[in-house]
Amino acid sequence: MYKILLIGSNKHSTEAFRHMVDWNQLGFCLTVCLETPNSVMELFNKDRFSFIIINMTDLKDKGLQLCEALRKISSIPILLIGGNKDFQIIRKALNLQVNDYIPDPVNPTELKSSLLLIKETLSSAHYKSNTLLHLAKPISNQTSDIIEKVKNYVNRSLNESLSKKITLKEIADQLNYNCSYLSHKFKCRENMTFNEFLLKQRMEKAKLLLEKTDMKIYEVAQEVGYVELDWFYKKFKTYTGVNANKYRQLAGSK
DNA sequence: TGGTGCGTCGACGTAGTTTC
DNA sequence: GAAACTACGTCGACGCACCA
């Protein structure tokens, strides 16, 4: 049973979400919090939650601020529900590495499938090994800091400028490290190569953009950093198993 | 433990073709 | 004509051996 914290300021809409799906049947234990962001952080620090859901209906920017505060202290999965479809908000949410964003109108089927996806992530061996790594592996603070800097650079670059070319060489130069050394350290720490990490970040962002916006496929490709469409097509199909167009159709028919 | 050099191979860019 | 998709050559990331 996974413990979820549902945060919102609007009692009516938050209650509506609470009754939208059978949380217990899905394997979740739900705690609803209608308090201020400060008391949310207190509750978060006091109890051990598996993931967080933020009701964006009335929180809007406060919801994103809360998201930002949580990201500073934890990599816990975050699901945003009930906001509007403003691309800038979705972009900011992506920058904060939220796991999914379901804008209004939220329907139970969509919410359920998103919850099951996060549940899958939580139970995956990779997630567990990574979590354990973060908790138990004795990595020096310096190495840890370097890798965090690399990851932050990637996430910032992905959201700051269109078509920006992200290379490990450039990051290594900026941090005054050898490229090979950084590559090696990254794999040791993250259990995946720099390219695998970059690909994952790009594909997750592309999936969200295809699901939540009506951007053209070449626009999505550019937005996630692919100058050439062909490579985006190849990588997207390899990553998801279907091509971008089909993925959007399937996401739209859910 | 932190760092470098170098060979290999996959990622990416260029230049196309196909589909609607 | 625009968008979606493909083939192939070039270059950068990875992995390994090695050094301080």
pLDDT-above-70 percentage for chain A: 61
Q: What is the pLDDT of residues A232-253, one digit of tens each?
A: 777 777 777 666 776 776 665 5
State the Cα–Cα distance between residues A103 and A63, nearest whole angstrom. 13
Q: Which domains does chain A have, with CATH numbers?
A: 2-132 (3.40.50.2300), 144-195 (1.10.10), 199-252 (1.10.10.60)
Q: What is the pLDDT of residues A141-178, one digit of tens each?
A: 555 567 777 777 776 666 654 445 666 766 776 666 66
pLDDT at position A5, please?
A: 86
Residue nearest to nucleotide B13 (CA to C1'): A228
Closest to A211 measured CA to CA, from A97, A107, A110: A110
pLDDT at position A122, please?
A: 67
**Residue A100: pLDDT above 60?**
yes
* Contact yes or no for A25/A73 (Cβ under 8 A): no
Average pLDDT across chain A, whole number: 71
Query: Strand B positions with any atom < 7 Å from protein CB?
Result: 1-6, 10-16
pTM of the entire predicted model: 0.58
Pairing state between β A78-81 and A2-7: unpaired
Residue nearest to nucleotide B5 (CA to C1'): A180
